Homo-oligomer: A and B are copies of this chain.
Amino acid sequence: MNSLFKALSHPVRRRIIEMLRTRPLTSGDIAAAFDMAWPTVTGHLNTLKDAGLVEVEREGASMRYRLNISAVEEALAFLMDLARAGEPASDALTSKEKPS
Contacts and interface: CB of A to CB of B under 8 A. Distances in A.
A44 to B, nearest CB: 14
Q: Majority SS of interface residues in chain A? A: helix
Nearest to A78: B14
A37 interface: no
Interface residues of A, number: 30
A76 B73 contact: no
Contacts of A84: 21
Given A21-B84, A22-B86, A72-B82, 19 more contacts: A2-B9, A5-B8, A5-B9, A8-B8, A8-B9, A9-B9, A14-B78, A18-B82, A18-B89, A18-B94, A20-B85, A21-B81, A21-B89, A22-B85, A67-B82, A69-B82, A72-B83, A76-B76, A79-B79
Interface of A: 2, 5-6, 8-9, 11, 14, 17-18, 20-23, 67, 69, 72-73, 75-76, 78-86, 89, 94
